Chains A and B, each alone.
Chain A
Amino acid sequence: MKHRNDSKGNQLRYAALALLTVVSTPLCAETGTAQGLGIAQPLSAHNFVSGDVGPIINDSGEICRVCHVPHDHARASQRYLNGLLWNHDVSSATYTMYNNTWSKTLTGTQSAQPDGHSKLCLGCHDGTVAMDAFDKYVSDGTNTMRMLHGLTVVPWFQDGANLDLRGTHPISVAFPAGEAGDGKNFANPATATWAKGQTIASTLDNGKVQCSTCHDVHDQESIPGTHLLRTANSPAEGGVPSGLCLTCHIK
């Protein structure tokens, strides 16, 4: 049973995980190869076959279908045009961006609005779109993430009306020209790696930092006991202080 209460749910997941990996985790933690649950695992955050959200929004009995479909259904919405065989509604919101107008020191090339993978995540995580608006179903305005599980809406997207991204790390932004790997500002994305060994570059989307750069939605390349993060950010999570931030930023 997947509990929706944030901390309890997490505790449960981690407890289960600890049981599964009691032997391998301590060894892996040292080399940084500890692995996520995998999205097929019932306790994984985006497995909507089980849990309490799953039965409410998803009677397909499938995992991937909530987000991807092998053949688009030729509906007017043409969700596939979002890429990756996307099968879920995306948000039509206009966001207040964390951009160069807001912060003069932000110099990387950035899209005017969230695009690419971030747009896919925000289709659930901005709290305006119904979670069950996938496949042949359209949003009827109910069952938004906020209604189902207010706490996991990206912070400050609590009411779906406050679409302010200035409280979220800049997204849809490239490493500033000449600063990636300069030894002063940023690590080199082509060589710097996440805990499981992937390069940062391999997790950029068209060269841009997106939600999926820091998080693995499929819970595969992520570190157990974190919010699907690709590198732990604290000693309590088995990493070094601010290890995620320092994978990219030289500070």
Chain B
Amino acid sequence: MKKLVVMMTLALGAGSFGVAHATIVGSVHDFSDNISVLGGNVAFDENSATGWNGRKEICRVCHVPHDHARASQRYLNGLLWNHGVSSATYTMYNNAWSSTLNGTQSAQPDGTAKLCLGCHDGSVGVDTFDKYAGGVVFANQYSPDAKVTNFTDGTNIDLRGTHPLSIQFPAGDTQFRDPTSATWANGGTVASTLDNGKVQCSTCHDVHNQESVAGTHLLRTGQTAATGTASGLCLTCHIK
């Protein structure tokens, strides 16, 4: 069934770069197949013999309709969040690191970036959700690329190797396109993908694989001729 969906979405996506019309079903963030690891190189049996996501729901790994009254109060992260978040303190790509960085920035990643880092900094298990303590399956076990570059061991939480996060467009900076009129490949504005006015992981990537371009790493605009234009994503915001 899942394979079928994948094939269908690939077929749909193949024709046009613009709008992929794919969904989260069968995508990298659909864990309802309940397998521990791609390639199966880690033995797994934490919550039950059936794997780490035995209920085989999709959204529940990240969202839940009613918080389960646990001390962790994950819902306070917003969006009915149901997954562990990282307690790491990151070395930021900030104005101290780069004096030419002018946009207003949060001291640490916040908003939706904090949600992604709950898996992608490599310090919290993908299986840490709902009532489960988890900590057996990590993002890098799905694919070696899944940790944000430079987050190679979960202790190296250095964000200076990642595009600045939780940052606003610098006020009045003519080096940038106007986010209210600049658009991604699907026609949506850049502004609509800012989180409280800030650039986050979700500004460039669509975790639900819906507004992203097929054949990319869930990017909202392609970066190559095969998926769009050369560095099309970067040039959506930067005038260079």
Contacts and interface: CB of A to CB of B under 8 A. Distances in A.
Given A168-B67, A242-B32, A251-B210, A234 B76 contact: no
**Chain B residues touching A, majority SS:** loop
B32 A214 contact: no
A98 B79 CA distance: 9
Contacts of A178: none
A234 B56 contact: yes
A119 to B, nearest CB: 17
Given A235-B56, A242-B59, A167 B66 contact: yes
A168 B65 contact: yes
Contacts of A250: 23, 210
Contact of A154 (B23, B66, B76, B78): B66
Interface string A162-197: 000011110000000000000010000000000000
A167 B67 contact: yes
Contacts of B55: 234, 236
Contacts of A103: 78-79
Contacts of B160: none
A184 B210 contact: yes
Interface residues of A, number: 25
A251 B57 CA distance: 13
A241 B210 contact: no
A158 B58 CA distance: 27
A142 B50 CA distance: 43
Interface in B107-139: none
Interface in B70-103: 73, 75-76, 78-80
A241 B34 CA distance: 11
B75 A167 contact: yes
Contacts of B56: 234-236, 241
Nearest to A169: B65
B156 interface: no
A245 interface: yes
B57 A242 contact: yes
B68 interface: yes
B80 A251 contact: no
Interface in A102-154: 102-104, 154
A156 interface: yes
A233 interface: yes
B196 interface: yes
Contacts of B60: 233, 242
A155 B69 contact: yes
A104 B65 CA distance: 18
27 contacts: A98-B80, A104-B195, A154-B66, A155-B67, A156-B67, A156-B69, A156-B75, A157-B69, A166-B75, A167-B66, A167-B80, A168-B67, A169-B66, A184-B210, A184-B211, A214-B65, A234-B56, A234-B57, A236-B54, A241-B25, A242-B60, A245-B58, A245-B65, A246-B58, A250-B23, A251-B23, A251-B210
